[in-house]
Structure 1
Amino acid sequence: MLPTIVVYKKLPQDVLDDLRRQAQVVVLEAEPGASHEALADALGAALVDADGAIGASVKVTPQMVARAPRLKAISTISVGVDNFDLADLTARGIVLAHTPDVLTESTADTVFALVLSSARRVVDLAEWVKAGQWHGSIGPEQYGVDVHGKTIGIVGLGRIGGALARRAALGFNMRVLYTNRHPNEAAERAFGARRVELGELLSQSDFVCLQVPLTPQTRHLIGAAELHAMKRNAILINASRGAIVDEAALIEALSAGTIAGAGLDVFEQEPLATNSPLLSMRNVVALPHIGSATHETRHAMARCAAENLIEALAGRLTRNIANPEVVARLRARAY
């Protein structure tokens, strides 16, 4: 008998067709104008009879999972797993798969695009030109700052952080500082990266780039004190998770000139409210969470997530597992 899979995010047609050849597929499609809460409610109801689920951007709560006695695996089309209670899934023996490798390069491209566009005021000046303000030679009021040869501080030197360090060191001759739970010896050898404490990184970096996952330990990792520790001409870049930064403190720091600017792809609440002060600040580049949003990468992520789910339901998944202890426990029982 084929397993039942709930799909709660639109998939490329070829990926969906492949899933339908291997499972009974229930597709949840949000009605036009439907709220996020309505989709979450529909997902909770659909999970009751499901063996697996695949999707993204919906918080899957322990209450939802408790109603799903057959659920064996969930596959998220993302690298981050902060929409799940990992401890609860692990306790219930439910495998959580994610897509950590396929989006690395695209996301690192986005991060460095934020570095460049913030430093060289690309968005601000493009709007200035379109508004008909360019009447002659530009002056210091339109100048940006150099990126090449500066110091970049990367908070979290994992896959994406490492790809960012490669772009910075080899492409722009930047000095690379980083913080990480463990030394990244490969980055130290290849890019001259130097591991330092967070305080030193903040005080020495011209660009501070956040590349850590959202956990209880990293929530509001960057607050008022950390922003005050940065250089006044420094730029904060966040393309990881919005809640890693205390947004109210960031708004205050940008308004007061505590730091020079920010390049943001993520926010504490998404979509960003239309009345957010961040949207009226010329020293802020704000993007709609596009980190991995290219046609090629999003297709690869969906394909990877679908393969993860089918393999997990068959008991064959050996990679891309967010809670590998579940798989180890299941294998131990089989012997």
Structure 2
Amino acid sequence: MSHPKLLVTRRVFPEVLELLRERFEVDANPADEPWPAAALRERVRDRDALYVTGSDRVDAALLEAAPALRIVASGSVGYNHVDLAACGARGIVVTNTPGVLDEATADMAWALLMAAARRLSESERWLRAGHWKAWAWDQFLGQDVHGATLGIVGMGRIGSAIARRARGFDMRLLYCNRTPAPNAAELGAQRRGLDALLRESDHVVLVVPYSQQTHHLIGARELGWMKPGATLVNIARGGIVDDAALVRALRAGRPGAAGLDVYENEPALDPALLEVPNVVLAPHLGSATRSSRLGMAMLAARNLMSWAEGAGPLTPVPLPD
């Protein structure tokens, strides 16, 4: 009996491909660069299964080019890059990789928060440029983290992991969520509306999924609610923050600093962000530890293996009716 045909869109760990070849006829991209859209549509034409990353667009045009496609496995938690309605209409299964990257991404949120609040990136560039000639009382004064108020927008698994770490800094903890967080009392977190959270917080971390409802959730109006000198961290998805509005706000000092791991239209980003000194920029590294990335890649592969074995995927994404 022949194996189902699988297309893997990006270079992945060798052990993942080894596992997949037990059940699939695999065509794998050996490079980190994505195929152009036309080339991807051509390659997927006879494939039963598709293994993508969070930056691969699975839209109606791609699905139209793949009449045999029956499953899309994404090696990411977010799935806004997949047209779920189009997949549901075709009966195509979609899977993601929840849970694997929670702790690594929470660590990254804290790395960005600390670096932005204490001006580490800005001061390092200044030092490397040879400007440090003497110590001064007011040299690169940042914001306190210990004892400050932390606002978390999105109290899911990652938001909760960020909140747990805040207890070690003796922080007052606020959160904004569509529904009350069941672990709020355990975490010592108080629920607020978005406007109140932004007004009260010294540091704000965004951890909400991207959707039409959260597009530009943080724009010029919302940035204007933040305290002068406050810190904004986005580890969620590009598009949740209006990057152009953020540049203008950072130049005005409200907020005073930002730490960004995601951007609108990434890997392209607003070039003005490169000119603003009070922002720490990272190239979407939230899950970038070996254990987390390998875990995500393996979970995507195991979803495919379980599907091929007739047991159904391990972590399916709910599709619209």
TM-score when scaled to structure 1?
0.90
Shift of 1:312: 2.5
Contact 1:8 1:28 in 2 (8 A): yes
**Paired residue for 1:292?**
287
Q: Secondary structure at the match of 1:141?
A: coil
Any conservation in 2 of the 1:52–1:313 contact (CA below 8 Å)? no
197, 200, 222: which is aligned to 1:226? Answer: 222
1:101 is aligned to 99
1:1-335 paired onto structure 2 within 5 Å = 1-30=2-31, 36=34, 38-56=35-53, 57-168=55-166, 170-186=167-183, 188-273=184-269, 276-317=271-312, 319-323=314-318
Where in structure 1 are there 5+ consecutive unaligned residues? 327-335
The answer (yes or no) to whether the contact 1:48–1:70 under 8 Å persists in 2 is: yes
Report the residue type matching 2:148 in the other structure.
K
- Aligned-pair CA distance for 1:2: 1.0
Counterpart AA for 1:175: R
CA deviations on 1:78-129 (whole Å, 9 max, x unpaired) are 1110111111111211111001111111111111101100111111112222
Question: For each residue in 1:15-51, what CA deviation from the matched residue of structure 2 results, as whole angstroms up to 9, or x when unmatched?
Answer: 1011111110011345x9x7x5x43322211222111
SS at match of 1:21: coil
Question: Which deviates the most, 71-80 or 119-128?
Answer: 119-128
- CA distance in structure 2 between the partners assigned to 1:191 and 1:295 by the alignment: 29
Deviations 1:203-236 (A, max 9, x none): 1011111111110000011111101111112111
Measured in 1, the distance between the counterparts of 2:135 and 2:251 equals 29
Number of residue-to-residue matches in the alignment = 319
Letter in 1 for 2:301: A
1:67: Cα distance to partner? 2.2
CA contact (8 A) 2:117 2:143 kept: yes
Report runs of 4+ in structure 1 exceeding 4 Å deviation.
none
Partner letter of residue 193 of structure 2?
E
Distance 1:214 1:55 in 2: 18
Identity of aligned residues (%): 44
Given that residues 28 and 43 in structure 1 are in contact (C-alpha distance below 8 angstroms), is that contact kept between their aligned partners in structure 2?
no
2: CA distance between counterparts of 1:304 and 1:319?
Answer: 8
Indicate if the aligned counterparts of 2:176 and 2:191 stay in contact, CA closer than 8 A.
yes
Describe the SS at the equivalent of 1:323.
coil
Tell me how far 1:325 sits from its aligned partner.
6.8
Which residue is equivalent to 1:329?
none
Tell me, yes or no, if the aligned pair for 1:155 and 1:180 is still in contact at 8 Å: yes
The CA deviation at 1:269 is 2.2
1-structure distance, mates of 2:313, 2:162 = 27
Q: Secondary structure at the match of 2:45?
A: helix
Coordinate RMSD, CA, aligned: 1.7
Larger displacement relative to structure 2 (94-103 or 137-146): 137-146
Distance 1:50 1:103, change over 3 A: same
**Contact 1:311/1:317 (8 A) holds in 2:** yes
3-state SS in 1 of match to 2:36: helix
Q: 1:123 to 1:25 in 2, by over 3 A?
A: same
In structure 2, runs of 5+ residues without a counterpart are: none
Shift of 1:292: 0.6
